[in-house]
Amino acid sequence: MTIASISMPRWVSYSPNGEREYSYGLHSRCSAVTGTCVPFPKMSDCTKDPSFCNMWRTVGFLTSFGVVVELCAIVSFIVIISGGVQRRAAGWQVAVGVLSFSAIVQCAGMAIVAFLFDNDDRFWKGWHLDLSWSLCTASWTILFLTSVGIAVSAFYLPIEGDYELIPEEYYGPPDDRLFSRISAWDNGFKGPGEGMQYSYQRDQDSMSDVVSIAASSIAPSNRRESSVAPSNRRESDARR
């Protein structure tokens, strides 16, 4: 609708007898009598009424800029929808911001045209706001309502399901599957004939084996120290 409002020169039209004779667009002025369109506003128009010329050109810039913002909104929709749940959960704020900004830009352009129509001397009885102005109004209204709908749905609709985050500290009951995996890593499974059940006794036996090995490695060193001490005493006595 925004592109159509730019392309159609029917923002303000003159229809004294119910039939359109002249119409103004953002970049051209058309005459139904001659069937021709000329660029508008011209330099002569800007010389006679520079304020009207500047404001009308501002409307053309704002409306064209609104189309660019709408394209950015489409790109943001594609990126957010094609992303994961977390991107959709956080990306709605970007979409709402872009849509709201586009609505504000187009609303400003529409308001300027309405202001000129009500206050400029070139628009007298028989002139009226035409289809392009209505399309621009409908465009920014739909953009605003869409942004409001997205924001309301983000706040009030249930959160989309996804994988639950693992808590940093968990103090719940032990998990049998976790124990089974630990026992597999620790070689704590019994043989096939015993049903592949976790053997706590085997873990205790393995721990006792580790303790005995450590004790046996420490004991010889103590014996060597105790045997070295008397020999040193004998040598010292012999020297005396």
pLDDT of residue 173: 58
Instruction: Give pLDDT tens digits for 159-210.
Output: 665 555 666 665 555 566 666 666 666 655 445 555 555 444 444 555 555 4
Answer with the residue of higher pLDDT: 84 or 161: 84
pLDDT of residue 211: 47
pLDDT above 60: residue 219 = no
Q: For residue 30, list its beta bridge partners.
A: 23, 37
| pLDDT of res. 104 | 95
% of residues, the chain, pLDDT over 70: 66
pLDDT of res. 200: 46
Q: By mean pLDDT, which of 54-58, 162-166, 223-227 is the weakest?
A: 223-227
Q: Which residue has the higher pLDDT, 180 or 148?
A: 148
Q: What's the whole-model pTM score?
A: 0.62
pLDDT tier at 142 (50, 70, 90 boundaries)?
very high
b/e burial code for range 101-140 (CB count within 10 A of at least 16 → b): bbbebbbebbeebeebbeebeebeeebebbebbebbbebb
Q: How confident is residue 35, by pLDDT bands cut at 50, 70 and 90?
A: confident
Over the stretch 111-137, which tens digit does the pLDDT of each residue have? 999 999 999 888 888 899 999 999 999
Predicted local distance difference test score (pLDDT) of residue 217: 55
Whether 84 has a pLDDT exceeding 50, the answer reads yes
User: Taking 60 as the threshold, does the pLDDT of residue 34 lie above it?
Assistant: yes
Cα angle 209, 215, 211; round to 5 = 30
The DSSP call for residue 128 is E
- pLDDT of residue 236 exceeding 80, the answer is no
φ, ψ at 198 (rounded to 5°): -70, 135
CA–CA separation, 185 vs 56, rounded Å? 77
Tallying the residues shown for the chain, one arrives at 240
